[in-house]
Amino acid sequence: MNTAAFVLFLVAFLPYVWAIISGSADPSPISWGIWASVDTLALLAMRKKQAPIGQISGAVVGASVVTILALIYGTPTMGSIEWVSVVGAVVGIVLWQVSGNATLAIISSQAATFIAAFPTFARGYSNPAQEDPLAWTIWLVSCVCALLAVRKWNLEEALQPISFTVIEAIMVILVVIIPHWPW
């Protein structure tokens, strides 16, 4: 399941990258930049704790590519929600660096990951058409695989797949379910 989570997470980036290049997706450079950074830190900390790293490895590669594309094709904004996300991410990174504790690094990185999602949540809520529903759906399926790959239900192994699942589920609700809901 760990390998499936990795492959699915990477595959989900393909329609998203195409949507960015074709102009139908407008990713938040702030969210994706923070995700690329804190995902890298989470990967290092999870590797140190010998936790399954399939999904987070795919996240690092994909988020790095999307960050570059978001800077080229995206709409950079720095409103209050982006500033809160940046500050939250920096606090998480500093906590890890000061403590040197890999478990605290995983907790901090996942808190920063969730905080960094708020600009994307806001964009998905206000204009769901600017996000790629197929990509978010595949990412959610990858999360199910990552959850099934958890060997020990502790912070080191389970927190990252749980936090990703919550983020992906919120985005699927915002860009897949709500736009098609018969209100």
SS (H, E, C) the chain: CHHHHHHHHHHHHHHHHHHHHHCCCCCCHHHHHHHHHHHHHHHHHHHHCCCCCHHHHHHHHHHHHHHHHHHHHCCCCCCHHHHHHHHHHHHHHHHHHHHCCHHHHHHHHHHHHHHHCHHHHHHHHHCHHHCCHHHHHHHHHHHHHHHHHCCCCCHHHHHHHHHHHHHHHHHHHHHHHHHHCCC
pLDDT reported for residue 61 = 96
pLDDT of residue 112: 82
Q: Per-residue pLDDT tens for 74-87?
A: 877 777 777 776 77
Q: Tell me, what's the pLDDT at 90? A: 78
Residue stretches of the chain with pLDDT short of 70: 85
